[in-house]
Amino acid sequence: MSVTEAGIDYETMTAEALVAQILRESTGKGVCLTNSFQTEDMVVLHMLKQYLPHVPVIFLETGYHFKEVIAYRDRMVAEWGLNLVNAMPATTLAEHESKFGLLYLVNPTECCRIRKVEPLMRSLEPFDWWFTGLRREQSPTRAGLKKVEDHKLPTGRHLKKVSVLADWTWDQVSGYAKAHGIPELELYARGYTSIGCEPCTAIPAAGADARSGRWGGKKLECGIHTFSEKS
């Protein structure tokens, strides 16, 4: 059970109440959101912006994104006045492919580590509270997700990872987005349910879990949410 210093159980709080509680505890300092510009992340961002209009929004710029994702990101940055932080890999895409070839085909886990995990871990260093749009319903790997967890970065630094939508269904996410006029990334209309790098994202089979279209079904996580240690 995750409990605040005041004895409030995080797990029993609604998403909106949890956002408000965390921002009271943090006094709005040291807070960030990782955002892939999928609907879950946009819902959390909408909640956060009510209190922190300029909350840092960390986007993993892998070089392999769908052009539609980049266009949507740029649109929302302009329309919402976002404080975007592009987390960049240590190498350009050209340098990466010159050295490794199409690494996403032969070793997708290592490709994710280089172009997603390592840049994110660096980008999280200044922060104490890391908001995400993760949900338990998304895949078996997320079924045990807590709304607030203690995490340790590779450098040894500790921070709180906050998944305010952990117990939400997709219908709740979609309903909130529609109620608040949040535009939807057009790839959803084509049948995509979980959207990452273009070479590693496919439309899932009917009835399969949302993330089954990632990495050809060979894995369900890039490592972002498994590489940092729970402490």
The residues carrying an active-site annotation are 222
Amino acid at 78: A
Give the separation between CA 107 and CA 124, rounded to whole angstroms.
Answer: 25
Residue 161 DSSP SS3: strand
Pairing state of beta strands 229-230 and 148-152? antiparallel
First to last CA, the chain: 14
Give the separation between CA 196 and CA 34, rounded to whole angstroms.
Answer: 13
Give the separation between CA 2 and CA 225, rounded to whole angstroms.
Answer: 18
Give the separation between CA 16 and CA 147, rounded to whole angstroms.
Answer: 12
Amino acid at 182: I
| Vertex 221 angle, CA 171 and 39, to 5° | 30
What is the three-state SS of 172-189? HHHHHHHHCCCCCCHHHH
E strand segments, 7-157? 31-34, 56-60, 83-87, 129-132, 148-152
Cα-to-chain-centroid distance, residue 125: 16
